[in-house]
Structure 1
Amino acid sequence: MKSNSNQTYDVADMIQILAIRSSVENLVIDDESLAYLGDICQRASLRHAVQLLSPSSIVAKIKEHDKICKEDIEEVSALYLDAKSSARLLQEHQEKYIA
């Protein structure tokens, strides 16, 4: 893991951070889901992936899953846009907003 905050993390580092964060929050998550969150980190950001953990846990509990699975993350990910996607969406539909 890199210590300088100006450097980027590689996917393995981000997955490790997500695993640690999950553990700290007492969330049970499978390896496939961590890998999927790693993909989200690459597309969006580590911050966005971390922010998906808690709502994914809630969805998992509602669906009576014993751990967070990829399906739970996909459902939550469809509801929450990362900053880049949100900005792109606003840009694409700017004519629909009051100037």
Structure 2
Amino acid sequence: MTGESYLSTALIPLLMTVVLIYYSFRLLFLQDVDSIYGKNKKKPKDKEGFAKAAGKLMVFLAAASLGMAVIMYWSVEIALVEICIAFVIFGILWKKMNKKYGE
């Protein structure tokens, strides 16, 4: 794969990584739950615990997205499988976190 071709293919996972890191920072350091929860929704019971757990999950997904961008250099199919597995794990852990700290 050429450099230009790779960059155009890997741009979406790289942008996803940047956005996830931004929201991870807002959750872990600023504890801004409103940025992902919405302003009109009911707030979580434990705002600090929710922000910490959600921030860690966002870091996990950012790492998976970065991994996808790297793996895409060799195989797009394996990268797609990797990010699908990461999304399933993320969804399961997010649901558990929401039960623990959510409404």
Return the structure number with greater relative CO, CA threshold 8 A, min gap 6: 2
Same fold (TM over 0.5): no
TM-score by length of 1: 0.32
Calculate the TM-score normalised by the size of structure 2: 0.31
Between Structure 1 and Structure 2, the one with more helix by share is: 2
